[in-house]
Structure 1
């Protein structure tokens, strides 16, 4: 388990399943309220993650509908007794404001849309154009270089590390 401790928030990351999906637990250090992001696989290991440094989670967020990101969802919702949200509902999360970085550094959970070194895999050229346009406009176009992002697979990174490569990704296509 990878742990990142921030002022007021702990982010715990656990890779699960054969595709090494990242499941994240966000835990408010003052209230112990928790949010689980992507109940991907291995419900028993997710149970341990949910119990990390606190009593429970109040919400589970699924970043997108790929099967590898929700294989343990039903079992995890059942044992956690948490409310379930999809990425489109993120603004309604009761724990959405549990972390306000005093330095103003944003933290973004990208599912399979952005990874260190590329955007997510698509199956058609028009899907790639749609994805990279969206990532460029809504992520790189709105957030500062200091922004940490946490992908659905692999390592965390910052937008500043990845920003110089966006034109390469676009030129490479899929």
Structure 2
């Protein structure tokens, strides 16, 4: 079996990781923005959700296949993460999920109603899989991170644009937003989860918290 690396590129082959109860497929779309999209499939029921319908609706629908998606989760309101949301939601009939403070902006930009406006600590369920919502304020007001506690392994996080290998997300020169972002990332992610936790960002390669933890003070000091 091919080892999962998480290294994907737009137009390239998706990469799939098989856990005991969950199958994760990562694909990149749009050569300019290179957004990551993730299909999560419950092994017990074959129910699927899509994280960030970023672009190229047909590629995402092909990846979902006949099973479709029961939910589409948008990590935050920025345009590059939901360009295919309308087409995918209409084709699948999926429940549309997003963080409460970003929901209105997503609807305004996509003309798609957010059915499930989630808050920090809420749980998103599909099949026998549970994803916990972690609210991270700073990159946008309502960015969310999704946590899966693998009962037979380590935690897994989908971090959108709030956390990447090498730093937190862009706060566009807003010092207060940066402080909010680094505080939330430090307290709600690094402060509660072990080094073995694997995280999957909205762009680029994956990483583990242990590889990033030694650099938290450096990130705070540099201000980005």
**Structure 2 CA distance for partners of 1:144 and 1:112, relative to 1, 3 Å:** same
What count of residue pairs does the alignment treat as equivalent?
172
2:62 alignment partner in structure 1: 48
TM-score by length of 1: 0.92
Inter-partner Cα distance in structure 1 for 2:20 and 2:152 = 9
Per the TM alignment, residue 96 of structure 1 is displaced from its structure 2 partner at its CA by 7.9
Q: Does 2:205 align with 1:155? A: yes
Q: Deviations over 1:82-122 (max 9, x none)?
A: 11111452734231851652334111110000000110011
Residue ranges of structure 2 left out of the alignment (5+ in a row):
1-13, 101-117, 131-148
Q: Does 2:154 align with 1:116? A: no
Q: Deviations over 1:43-81 (max 9, x none)?
A: 111111212xx6121111001101100011001101111
Q: Following TM superposition, where does structure 1 have runs of at least 4 consecutive aligned residues deviating by more than 3 angstroms?
A: none
- Which structure has more relative contact order (CA 8 Å, sep 6+)? It is 1
Inter-partner Cα distance in structure 1 for 2:153 and 2:21 = 13
TM-score by length of 2: 0.73
Superposition RMSD on alpha carbons, in Å? Answer: 1.7
Residue ranges of structure 1 left out of the alignment (5+ in a row):
none
Inter-partner Cα distance in structure 1 for 2:168 and 2:79 = 19
Q: Does 2:51 align with 1:37? A: yes
